[in-house]
Amino acid sequence: MLTDTLPSNFMPSPARGRVLVFDSGVGGLTVAEEIRALGPALGIHYSADSGFFPYGDKSDEALRDRLPKVARRLVEYVRPDVFVIACNTASTLALPDVRAVLDIPVVGTVPAIKPAAQLTRTGTVGLLATPGTIRRAYTAELIDTFARDIQVIMHGSIELVKLAEAHARGEDLPVEAFAAAQAPLFEAPGGDRIDTIVLACTHFPLVRAQLVASAPQPVSYIDSGAAIARQTIRVLPPDTEGRGLGGHAWLTSPPEEAPDLALVLRRYGFPDIQSVADVPIEMTSAPTAL
Ligand code: DGL
């Protein structure tokens, strides 16, 4: 899927070690694919907070309470060398909270506003994310720091998250659904000048082709996936040789309650699906030493 987007001088990294990629649902698979392309010798595990999906419409309080607990429980199970939060909605809110309870490197995912500001020729950029990511102070700071002279038009869409999940399950969806999901960007004042859109939800690269096909004007859609893959390799501790062997997926609900998710995970190379739902997610003790 990604090979058509890789530069011709692309050199995979020989890095080994165990990486745990985390998202609310299937969106983080787009990041896992980038990490797999850059580090084919890594053992990549995947985890989805299926018991609390979607994140985009949850309150900040609920997410900040839950994320450190889920992260710690997953790390206790999987014992990765790096924990990747492949979710903008979670990272822009609770990256420090998760870092505070883990003693391994944690890589977050934040909107690719800086590269978008460098790429735009019209000076108008669209930001497509969940409603949660749109209202974050962190997102406002990114815009203030990197896109001060750029017009950034934002739209938060849970509908597009659901469309991406349905597409990943193999559902045939009309192009009009994607046109409607991104229309508020183009219909906003100045929207006819948008030439670059930041896909600031990891679900959205799953439907990049549908977004391109349904946009009313030529647009470059960019995301953070490749940058996250590079950062994951960069922070990997040096003594992780031989800890590869990935391919497991971990859910926070019983897999039989999420048959569609299981189907997509298998399709993306995670055949063994297990649940951490049988153990209550709560903070009881100090983080397990790794
Ligand atoms: N994939 C997540 C993100 O990057 C959000 C999806 C959800 O709403 O759960 O923001």
Q: Can you tell me whether residue 222 is helix, strand or coil? A: strand
201 belongs to the catalytic site: yes
Flag whether 58 is in a domain. Answer: yes
100 Cβ contact partners less than 8 Å away, ≥ 6 residues apart: 68
Q: How many separate domains does the chain show?
A: 2
33 within ligand 1 shell (Cβ under 6 A): no
In a shared domain, residues 167 and 251 = no
* pLDDT tens profile 20-41: 999 999 999 999 999 999 999 8
Q: At what angle do helices 60-78 and 88-101 cross, to 10 degrees?
A: 60
Whether 8 is in a domain gets the answer no
Which atom of ligand 1 lies at the shortest distance from residue 129's CA?
Answer: 10
Q: For residues 10-25, give the mean pLDDT.
A: 88
158 and 143 in a common domain: yes
Under DSSP, is residue 3 helix (H, G, I), strand (E, B) or coil?
Answer: helix
If asked whether residues 244 and 194 sit together in one domain, one would say no
Q: How many other CB atoms are there within 10 angstroms of residue 52's CB atom?
A: 18
Is there a domain that residue 281 lies in?
no
Instruction: With residue 249 as reference, give the H or E element that holds it.
Output: strand 248-251
Residues 6+ apart with CB under 8 A from 197: 116, 125, 126, 127, 128, 182, 185, 211, 219, 220, 221, 222
Output the domain CATH number for residue 198: 3.40.50.1860
Ligand 1 in reach of 210 Cβ (< 6 A): no
Domain identity same for 103 and 232? yes
Query: Is 3 within a domain?
Result: no
Cα dihedral 37, 129, 170, 260 sign: positive
Domain presence at residue 4? no
Q: Is the pTM of this model over 0.95?
A: no
* Residue nearest (by alpha carbon) to ligand 1 atom 8: 56
CA distance 203 to 84: 15
Q: Which atom of ligand 1 is nearest to the CA of 109?
A: 4
Q: Do residues 72 and 49 both lie within one domain?
A: yes
Average pLDDT across the chain, whole number: 90
257 vs 120: which has the higher pLDDT? 120
Residue 266 is part of which domain span?
16-109+226-275
Q: How far is it, in rounded angstroms, from Cα 1 to Cα 9?
A: 18
Distance 267 CA to ligand 1 centre (A): 20
State whether 21 and 104 are in the same domain. yes
Q: Give whole-number Cα distances, 177 to 9, 107, 157, 207, 214, in Å.
A: 37, 33, 12, 11, 9
List, for residues 203-255, the tens digit of each pLDDT value.
Answer: 999 999 999 999 999 999 999 999 999 999 999 988 766 555 668 899 998 88
Residue 5 lies in a domain: no
* Phi, psi angle pair for 112, to nearest 5°: -80, 55
pLDDT tens for residues 159-197? 999 999 999 989 999 999 999 999 999 999 999 999 999
